[in-house]
């Protein structure tokens, strides 16, 4: 959903598509417990091979002292702001730090959107407080539900109470930029959507998404297995003005990097019948395809089967890393669906201690919580914030947290992501690392042979990211 090259935002793009479509009309898991891998032995654990249970309280993965007791002190008292360098700081007292997180859970159009952010926020706060908080200050969480259309109102509310916003996101975040910046509210969010939010000050973005870059690593690997597809790729974009650039960017990224797009389509926000689109792709000789703003694969895959078409592959991105995709593949009886990720999948929790620890922390608070891409990026943001806040010591300010976070080098969120440098603000490059999972009736299965890893379980190469001269803004 974000009008932006980062395909993770496709989940949010779907939400925005539905929201706008409905607005126009009105005005005119749990995954399988079997953790499997194909194409070789399972990835090695972290260097020490230690289990999360061996870590000290407040340690996470390879990060030490993320949370814990410390020398926090100040004269703010329980009702006012905590002392920080002699100034009163909103949301901080001698004993407590109030943090906000955001989502669109209460939307009637896409109910539950971003629930993972609320679940991760609850779980992280409980875990951190048990370890001693941030230098002795306990965390208090406020969950701001923007419901797709109340981003500005929720941000105004956050400006009254919160020290910072951490680990969430809102589809309508453009409306929240003005209130947030005007009240000096810093954030380390899970995602940003609009150009206004992406370029806004007073933030650090753990996973940047520049408009002039697009990830193509999945295609580089897939055409090695399916070489005939390289000159016969299909791209299904969207004809909604806010989403149209995303499909055009993918087409541009592919065609300027040695691939040929045999069929480029722009689907309406709501598709009643996918059959004509699939018939056109088949007629044009398409061998591999991707649809940008999908949130459910069932209908497109069913249409492919109904016309007797057998493309080499369908590639999907982060927004479809969800138990519903497994059900869709099973229902449609379509076997060659591949998921591309830039973080360690939860299916490998038994071999990657940081991932197992994240699952344990989450399930300790919310036993039935879904494990999705939002789960991973939520933990990523919370860990970066907590590490930076701890480094700031007793004199805690938003400026200090943003400075520390924005200067972090080789950040991996304790082992959840391939290491990369964090950049100040919303700057930075896309990750050059990718892995591929095959979607099967039994779950998401890491495909080592297809990924061809050269950095742990990831394939990391500058060629995995296309540089665009036209961003279609």
Q: Using CA atoms, how far apart are residues 333 and 381, in angstroms rounded to an integer? A: 37
* Per-residue pLDDT reduced to its tens digit, 297-334: 999 999 999 999 999 999 999 989 999 999 999 999 89
| More confident call, 252 vs 71 | 252
Residue 37 is predicted with a pLDDT of 45
Pick the CATH number of 213-348+432-467 from 1.10.1040.10, 3.40.50.2000, 3.40.1440.60, 3.40.50.2300: 3.40.50.2300
Label residue 115 by pLDDT band (50, 70, 90): very high
- Are 96-210+349-415 and 213-348+432-467 equal in CATH topology? yes
CATH class in words for 96-210+349-415: alpha beta
Give the pLDDT mean for 21-35. 36
Tens digits of residue pLDDT in 79-110? 344 444 445 899 999 999 999 999 999 999 88
Long-range own/partner contacts, residues 386-392 (CB < 8 A, 24 or more apart):
386/66, 386/67, 386/124, 386/128, 386/134, 387/63, 387/66, 388/188, 389/97, 389/134, 389/135, 390/65, 390/66, 390/67, 390/68, 390/70, 390/134, 390/135
Residue identified by tokens 């499909």 is: 247
β-pair partners for 141: 99
Residue 415 half-sphere exposure toward CB, CA atoms < 13 A: 28
CB 242 within 8 A of CB 20: yes
Query: Which percentage of the chain shows pLDDT scores above 90?
Result: 76
pLDDT digits (tens, 9 = 90+) for 242-264: 789 999 999 999 999 999 999 99
For the stretch 389-433, pLDDT in tens is 999 999 899 999 999 999 999 999 999 999 999 998 778 899 999
Structural domain boundaries of the chain?
96-210+349-415, 213-348+432-467
Tokens of 263: 């069929």
Residue 106 main-chain phi, psi, to 5 deg: -85, 10
């Amino acid at each position: 959903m974000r009008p932006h090259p980062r395909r993770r935002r496709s989940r949010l793009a779907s939400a925005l598509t539905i929201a706008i479509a409905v607005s126009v009309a009105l005005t005119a898991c749990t995954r399988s417990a079997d953790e499997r891998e194909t194409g070789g032995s399972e990835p090695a654990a972290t260097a020490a091979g230690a289990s999360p249970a061996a870590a000290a309280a407040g340690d996470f993965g390879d990060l030490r002292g993320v949370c814990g007791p410390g020398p926090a002190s100040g004269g703010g008292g329980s009702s006012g702001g905590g002392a920080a360098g002699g100034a009163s700081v909103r949301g901080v007292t001698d004993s407590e730090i109030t943090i906000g997180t955001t989502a669109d859970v209460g939307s009637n159009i896409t109910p539950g959107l971003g629930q993972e952010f609320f679940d991760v926020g609850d779980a992280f706060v409980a875990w951190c407080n048990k370890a001693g908080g941030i230098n002795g200050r306990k965390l208090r969480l406020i969950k701001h539900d923007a419901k797709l259309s109340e981003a500005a109102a929720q941000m105004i509310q956050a400006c009254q109470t919160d020290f910072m916003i951490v680990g969430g996101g809102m589809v309508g975040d453009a409306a929240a930029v003005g209130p947030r910046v005007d009240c000096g509210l810093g954030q380390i969010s899970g995602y940003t959507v609009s150009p206004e939010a992406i370029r806004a000050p007073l933030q650090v973005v753990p996973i940047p998404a520049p408009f002039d870059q697009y990830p193509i690593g999945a295609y580089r690997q897939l055409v090695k297995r399916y070489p005939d597809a390289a000159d016969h790729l299909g791209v299904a974009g969207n004809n909604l003005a806010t989403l149209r650039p995303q499909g055009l960017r993918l087409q541009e990224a592919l065609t300027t990097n040695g691939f040929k797009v045999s069929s480029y389509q722009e689907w309406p926000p709501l598709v009643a019948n996918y059959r004509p689109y699939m018939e056109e792709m088949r007629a044009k000789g398409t061998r591999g395809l991707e649809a940008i703003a999908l949130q459910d694969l069932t209908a497109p895959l069913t249409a492919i089967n109904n016309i007797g078409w057998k493309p080499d592959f369908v590639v999907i991105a982060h927004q479809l890393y969800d138990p519903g995709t497994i059900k869709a593949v099973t229902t449609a009886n379509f076997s060659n669906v591949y998921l591309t990720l830039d973080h360690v999948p939860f299916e490998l929790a038994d071999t990657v201690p940081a991932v197992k620890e994240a699952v344990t922390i989450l399930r300790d608070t919310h036993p039935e919580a879904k494990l999705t891409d939002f789960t991973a990026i939520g933990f990523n943001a919370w860990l970066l914030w907590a590490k930076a806040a701890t480094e700031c010591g007793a004199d805690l300010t938003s400026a200090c947290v943003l400075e520390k976070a924005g200067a972090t080098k080789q950040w991996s969120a304790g082992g959840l992501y391939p290491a990369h440098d964090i950049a100040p603000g919303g700057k930075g490059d896309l990750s050059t690392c990718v892995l591929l999972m095959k979607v099967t009736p039994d779950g998401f299965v890491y495909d080592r042979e297809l990924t061809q890893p050269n950095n742990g379980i990831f394939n990391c190469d500058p060629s995995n990211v296309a540089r665009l001269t036209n961003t279609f803004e």
